[in-house]
Every structure is written in C-alpha cells, then in structure tokens.
Structure 1
Amino acid sequence: MTINPTRTGRTRLVGCTAAAAAVVLLASACGGGGTGASASPKNFDYLSVTENTTIKKTLTTLSTTSCTDQNKALPLKVDTVPQSGLDQKLQLLAGQNALPVQFAAGNAPALTTQLFGAGNVANLEDELTKLGVFDQLQPAAVSTIKALYQNNLAVLPYEYNIEGIFYNKKVFEANGIAVPGTWDELVAAAAKLQGAGVQPFAASGQQGWPLTRLVSGYLYRSLGPGAMNAVANGTAKLTDPEYVKAAQQVAELGKKGYFGQGVGSIDYDTAMNQFLGGKAAMLYMGSWALANIADPKQDTVGAENVGFMPFPAVAGGKGAVDQYPSNVGLPVAMNAKSFDAKTGDWVKCIAQNYGSVALKDQGTISGFKVNTPVENANAVTGQIRDTIGTSKESVLWFEALFSTKATTVSQQNAAPLVTGAISPEKFMQLVQDALAQ
C-alpha cells in the first residue's frame, strides 16, 4: 500500500514529543545528545512503515541486481515503524540528530516541510541535478511533489498515484450496473448492491483517510479544483454550507450502511481484503493498490475482473472527472546530513532503475521513468498508466494542505462521521478549529 501513502490516523504525541513540531526538530528537543547521523553512513538505512512492503521489496531487488555495487559499498538496511507512529518517530529522531539516510516522509506534508526548513531533508532537485539524473523523474511527479512541499523537491517519488474507485466487474455485471458517471448514479448503484445483499464499499475507518478522500472528491467535483486551496488560503472555511454538504453526502453513505458493519474498526489490510476477496463491490483507493491486485494470493477476484473509474461528477459542479487526485504515495525523504558520495551512487542507481523494477515485479507505478520496456501485467494497470500519461490536471487530497494537528483531527473523526456519532457540521467544525490553531 501506500499511503499515502497512502495516510493513516495519527497518534497524539505524548511526553517530550508533545511539544510543538518546530520545537521537537531542535537537537535539544527530546533528549538530544544522540550520536546523530554520520556524514559517512555505514549503511543505506531506510525507515519505512510497516504497512508498506512494496518499496522495501523493490529496493531489496535493486540491491541484488542493478545496484549490487552500490549495495556492497553501502549495504541496504530496512527498519519499520507502524504508520500511526511515524510522525512521532521522525520528530524524536530529528531531535536526536539521528534520522536515517532515507525515511518515509511524515504523514502530513507540513512535517516534512518543517524538517526541510531545519536542514534535515536534502534538496533532491539539487542532488539529482548534480548526479545527472534529474531527468529520470516524471514531470507530473515533480509537479505534485512541489505542490505539496512549498515548491521544494523534498522527497523521492517511489510511487506516483492517481486515485479513484476500483470496482468488481463481475458484481456490477451480475447486478446490471453500468459504471457510474455521476454521484447520483454512484449512490443509486450502492443502493442496488445493498438491496442485493452485496456490501457496496470497503473502507478503513481506522485509517480515516479513505473516508475523508470521499469528502474532498465531492468537493473537487462540486466546487472545482481550487476547493481545498481556498480553505488553505482562508478565502473559504470548511464550515461554509457548500463544504458541509460534501461531508453530509459521505455521512449519508454510512447512514445507509454502505460501508458495512464496524467500519470504525476496519484497518487498511482488512478493507483491501474485503474488496479483493469479493466481499465488497467498490474500494476508493490510489493506484498503489495495483500491487495488491496483481498478486493472485491477495486478489481472489482476479485482476481481469477489477475495473477503475474516476470519482464521479456532481450535477452542476465546477469540477471535471479527468481531474484526478494524485499523490506520491509513501514519499521518501533523504537525510541532508548524511548525503555523501556513496549515498549519491545509490540514489543515481535508483533513479535509473527503480521505475522499471517496480512496474515489472510489483505492478506499481512510480514517479521515475521506465527505462526498460515492461509489458502491462493486466488491463487495469495499463488503463491507469495511460490515464496518468494523458491526464492534464490533478488535484490533491483532503488533508494535503492541512497542519499535522488538523490532519489528525480529520482522520480520527472520519469514522464517527460515517457512523453518525458526530454530525457533518461538527466534523467540519472540528477540523476547521484545528486549522485555526
């Protein structure tokens, strides 16, 4: 998975790390005095999240194939942390001057931006240009990264994703459902599936973000691609009626039971398994799910029976269905303080080979160019690759421009929104209040 990155809900910081993010980035913030990252690291250390195995697998493959020389000089070493604890871990390590050579970026772009400003994250546009491989990045991926990190290339795009709704072709056909083109058609399809005893959607309420992305999807289609920028720059508020309406629409899906039982306790893997096991007809997700779809051990529905559709149009809305939410999945930052010649050799090799290996072995699309021709493993992968190649405009996701605190509040309250524990008005008020702090 990715998250994005695939992004999960955050844990609240406790004890020393409960200090403001800017404070914990200081060397003295949380017990300082650590040995720190050496200017000449002994390993190509990578701190990943437990939930994402794709990047680790691809880097491991590179270490034994295209990048064997680089691995001999600086051996790959992977450590993991649950994504819910990633932000706290990064802040602790930054405070101790002990960040690894490369690490999964913070759940909220704001954290990585703060780390970048504090000199903990390498400027990869400069580094890749020096290495002569900046042209190995897909322009669309560079654009997305810079939109997230204040015009800085702060992360490597090990994944590049567009988001939409994956659906079970067989279930749709068996129930006489055409691919919905509008929100009303999507709701009607969900009602028909529910009536036939089929759970319409799989979603992780425990993660939160798969639900909040439905809110932003509706906002982008109803208000246009500038919907969330307006909130970020203060010209609109989430408590405005047109914004609350989006939350109301998603809450209605939950009220009608379209997410199944116990959505608040469903984690990412369970939601994915519900869809790939044929227990739910639809799954809002990013194209990082192609790795799961391509794995016959996970996908008992069969890749040939999985389709992909854009978030549907909203009647009278200002947005367009070809404005796909896009992200760089689980982006990976590099430690500026340990970026030496051996690290550079690794990064150069990654830039030249990662795209091909990830697509061939994992069925995933990255933000690196594919330099070795790879046949599409399945039709849905080909469809999404073509869509990325022809897409002219992208949008971000609900929390993309939020502070870390607002992101936490949003994702922790997503499940209560769809279970009816809090109202749409309350949900939006809580997030808006967090944005104002």
Structure 2
Amino acid sequence: MSSRALVTRRTHRTRLALLTTGVASISLLATACGGTGGGTSTTPKEFSYLSVTENTTVKNALTSLSKGACKPAQEALPLKVETVPQASLDQKLQLLAGQDALPVQFAAGNAPALTQQLENSGKVADLEGELTKLGVFDQLEPAAVSTIKALYGGKMDVLPYEYNIEGIFYNKKVFEVHGIKAPGTWAELRDAAAKLEAEGIQPFSASGQQGWPLTRLISGYLHRSLGPDALQKVADGKAKLTDPAYVKAAQEVADLGKKGYFGKGVGSIDYDTAMNQFLSGKAAMFYMGSWALANIADGKQNKVGAENVGFLPFPAVAGGKGSVDQYPSNVGLGIALSEKSFDKNTGAWVSCIAKNYGSTALKDHGAISGFKVNTEVKDANEVTTQVRDTISSSKQNVLWFEALFSTKATTVSQTNAAGLVSGSLSPQQFMQTVQDALAAK
C-alpha cells in the first residue's frame, strides 16, 4: 500500500479545515445570487471540477478513473480540474455563483450554510433525485447519506468523496507496557491519562491552533452524557450552551488541559505537529477522524508502526443517555454539482463515479469514501479493517461540535478552544462566548 503515502499531511490538514472553518459571508452570497434560480440549462463541454490546491486525493482519484473505468465518460466530457487555495474557496464560489458560472462539479464551501444558500438559489443539483434516476443511489453508504442530510437540512447537496468517523487512536504498545487497558468510560480515560502523565508520557496530542480537535472532545462528552440530540437541541433553541449540563462538558475537557495532559504550548500546535507527535510516539492518544488512516499506513510518517495503533470510540459517561456506538461522522470535502449543467454526459460521469470511486480511492489512496467498495481491496493494516467494519455496521451517527453552528460561532468556538484548555478562559466563559455568537447569527 505504498500508494497511501501519496496522501500528504497537508491534504488532511486542509480536509479538516474545510469541515470546520466557517469563513463564508452568507449575506454576500445571498446578494450575489439574488434568488435568480439555476439559470438557463447549458450543455457543458468539459467535466469541470473546482477543488482546493491543498487537497489532491479527489483530483488524483478522478484522474485515475478518467483513464480507466470512466474512460467512455472522459471521451464524451473531458475532466478539467481547476484549483484555488482553500482560504479563497468561498470567495471564488460566491463570485462564480453571482456570474451564474459555477463549474459542473465543485468543492462545497467551508460551512454547510454556504452550500445550502447555493441550493436555495437553484445553483446546486438535487443529487438524490439525479442518482435515483441514474439507478446508482444504492451505491452510496446509507450512513454517509444520513450524515449529508443531517448537515444540509435534509437535502442531498453533496457527494461523499470521503466518509469519516471519529474516535481515539491510541498507541497499543505504550498501553501494554504500562498495563493500561483501552478505556471504555470517561473515568477510565482520565485514569489512563493520569497514569501516563505520572510515568512521563504525554497522554494526548491535539492541535490547539486548529481548535476543532479540542472542541470535538466537548461534543463527544455531550453526546455521551446528554444523548445524540444534545447539539440539535441547541440549534433548535431548546437548550443553551450555558446550561449547567453543557458547561460540565467544557469543564471536563478543561480539566484535562489543567492537568497538562495535552502537553506544553497546545495553543501553538498545528495539525501536522499534532499528528507527528502521535505517530512518533511522543503522545499516547490522539482524537482524530478516520482520514488519519492514510498517515498511519505511511511508514515514513508512522514511526510507531501501524500494527501498534488501535482505535476506540469516545468513551461512555456514567449515567449518560448516549451510546459508544454513536460515532461522530462527516463527509470530508463534500462535492456539489451544478444544477444547470447536469446533463446526460454529466450523468454518465456521476454514474461511473458512484460505481467505481469507492474502490479506486481506497486501493490507490487509502481513502475511505461514502461510496460502496465494489471490488475486493486488501486493507493495509488491522486498524483500517476495524474502522471500515465500524463504518459499514454503524447504525446511528452524530455530528461534531460546530456542525450546526453559524459561521461566526464556528470561528469563535475554534479560536477560543485553546484558551479553554490552557486556563485563560473558564468553561463558563467559553460556552457563554460561543452561545453569544450563536445568538448573533
């Protein structure tokens, strides 16, 4: 599986930035789109695809398909890829939408709200309807469809070129040497961290600079303690982040930071550094998504050995309403298609992608998608098999902390997460700050 090395750490950093960074100006987009609808249907001359410079996985997989299984679609409608820096994606989408010039296929905006605005303006194809007409809707994993609809107001606005679940990767060798069993409860997780810290081993690696790896811990605790609808209740106005049970979740995560379990200077640690800390054996645990499997399988990055990496769900909270088999999930770099250019040739491409992308992405790039894998692909290691089996058997998934937040609240949450674990912000202050940003949307 040397091909897994092709997926760079930069790619994964960008992938998560796309999932979590809310920088889009929705009001600007609304002005640009002006409710003009999808425009006059046009016949595209290319299978144009707008992606981000930092992410190469989808582009490379589509290129492979264009030379193989999707060659007939390629001959009728040649693939053409354009990239922009991730930080410029939303601005580019707004500009193209305002000009009624969106490409056939494009990376969704940094926050679901941006894509929903495009959909409301008639710019985005109804993918559930289109795939059903093409007879390939059953090529999508049900869990991925469920996650997309949870993110996009019940609509199938994007294709799941990636599908990820999240949990805690841990160093099995370190756990074994120090007599620690994989924790199944929050109390056991804290005990394991305390033992590791006492024996001079950093318990957790996390990027405070990114922020979301820390806020994911808050939502994990909320889902286990209050149930899978904990954050939906906040979005619906039935609960507030400042309610005592919600503040307690922030307190639990803050306590981990207070005890030094994230190491020194967590606020300055970026994504790549956090990944390296775990893969080099400097930290025993790493909360992350299944996109990290490509890094884990890459011998150049992973110095502890893939055979020494385990995966466990976010632990149970005593007396909580949630279940450990409810995994946080996302669809990575969601890809939308333009409504007005979805014609027969576009449909041929989409049909071929639905049938073949899952196998190609897994075999060539070590990436798990939301498409079914229709050919046998040997996994690189045991932990990859474990995660794939978990995804296939998953019955109920939950979203991450900021998934239902406004773009402003998303930014506020992630930029203040490091302050929560460093002690410069109290749990009450942190949750109040984010709640205020939600109220201001």
Q: Do these two structures clear the TM 0.5 threshold for a shared fold by scoring above it?
A: yes
Q: Which amino acid aligns with 1:418?
A: V
Shift of 1:335: 1.6
Shift of 1:204: 1.8
> Who is 1:103 aligned against?
106
Aligned counterpart, 1:159:
162
> 2-side partners of 1:305 and 1:24: how far apart?
51
Three-state SS of the structure 2 residue aligned to 1:376 is: coil
- Report the alpha carbon displacement of residue 85 of structure 1 after superposing the two structures with TM: 4.1
- State the secondary structure of the residue aligned to 2:157: coil
Counterparts of 1:355-394 in structure 2, within 5 Å, are 355-394=358-397
Give the equivalent residue in structure 2 for 1:22. Answer: 30
Displacement of 1:158 after TM fit? Answer: 0.9
- Counterpart position of 1:413: 416
Look up the match of 1:210.
213
| Structure 1 spans left out of the alignment, 5+ residues | 29-35
- The alpha-carbon distance between structure 1 residues 391 and 201, as it changes in their structure 2 partners (threshold 3 A), is same
Alignment correspondent of 2:7: none
Partner of 1:31: none
Q: CA deviation at 1:70?
A: 2.2
Listed as ranges, the matches of 1:18-417 within 5 Å are 19-26=27-34, 39-417=42-420
Q: Give the aligned length.
A: 426
Structure 2 CA distance for aligned equivalents of residues 85 and 173 of structure 1: 46
Amino acid at match of 1:177: I
SS at match of 2:379: coil
Structure 1 residues 111-120 or 247-256, which shifts more?
A: 247-256
What's the secondary structure of 1:413's corresponding residue? helix
Residue equivalent to 1:7: 19
> Matched residue of 2:19: which SS?
coil
Distance in 2 (CA, whole Å) between partners of 1:348 and 1:18 is 32
CA contact (8 A) 1:194 1:258 kept: yes
Identity %: 72
Task: Give the secondary structure class of the aligned counterpart of 2:204.
Answer: strand
Relative to structure 1, the CA distance from residue 134 to residue 327 in structure 2 (aligned partners, 3 Å threshold; closer, same or farther) is same
Say if 1:93 and 1:266 are closer, same or farther in 2 by CA, change over 3 A.
farther
Runs of at least 4 residues off by over 6 Å: none
Equivalent AA in structure 2 for residue 179 of structure 1? A
The whole-number CA distance in structure 1 between the counterparts of 2:435 and 2:103 is 34
Structure 1 residues 187 and 344: CA distance shift in structure 2, 3 A:
same
How far residue 177 of structure 1 moved from its aligned partner, in angstroms, is: 1.4
Amino acid at match of 1:203: A
8 A contact 2:247–2:427 mirrored in 1 = yes
Q: 1:320-375 CA distances to partner (integer Å, 9 max, x unpaired)?
A: 11111122122111122222222222111110100111121222221111111122
Give, in whole Å, the separation in 1 of the partners of 2:91 and 2:123: 15
Q: Using the alignment, how far apart are the partners of 1:316 and 1:76 within structure 2? A: 53
How far does the alpha carbon of each residue in 1:54-86 deviate from its partner, in whole angstroms, 9 at most, with x for none? 222222221222122322333333333444443
Structure 1 pair 326–242 and aligned structure 2 pair: CA distance change class (3 A): same
Distance of aligned partners of 1:264 and 1:24 in 2 relative to their CA distance in 1, 3 Å threshold:
farther
* Cα distance in structure 2, aligned partners of 1:97 and 1:418: 45
Cα distance change on mapping 1:156 and 1:376 into 2, 3 Å:
same
Deviations 1:116-135 (A, max 9, x none): 11111111011112222111
- In structure 2, the CA distance between the partners of 1:27 and 1:42, relative to structure 1 (3 Å rule), is farther
3-state SS of 2:340 partner: helix
Q: Report the 3-state secondary structure (helix = DSSP H, G, I; strand = E; otherwise coil) of the residue aligned with 1:383.
A: helix
The one-letter code matched in structure 2 to 1:7 is L
User: What is the distance in 1 between the residues matched to 2:44 and 2:340?
Assistant: 10
Q: Distance in 1 between matches of 2:274 and 2:332?
A: 18
- Report the aligned-residue RMSD: 2.3
| Residue 143 of structure 1: how far off its partner (Å) | 1.5
Give the secondary structure class of the aligned counterpart of 1:409: helix
With structure 2 as the length reference, what TM-score do the two structures score?
0.90
- Comparing 264-273 with 313-322, which one deviates more in the overlay? 264-273
Secondary structure at 1:41 match in 2: coil
User: 1:218: how far off?
Assistant: 0.4
Quote the offset at 1:311 in angstroms. Answer: 0.2
Name the CA distance, whole Å, in 1 between partners of 2:167 and 2:18: 13
- Distance in 1 separating the partners of 2:184 and 2:89: 37
**Aligned-partner Cα distance in 1 for 2:121–2:150:** 19
- Cα deviation, 1:77-129, whole Å, max 9, x if unaligned, reads 33334444433332333233332222221222122111111111111011112
Aligned amino acid, residue 9 of structure 1:
T
Q: TM-score, normalised by structure 1?
A: 0.91
27 and 89 in structure 1: CA distance in 2 versus 1, 3 angstrom threshold:
farther
1:426–1:377 CA distance, 2 compared to 1 (3 A): same
Give distance in 2, aligned partners of 1:161 and 1:375: 19
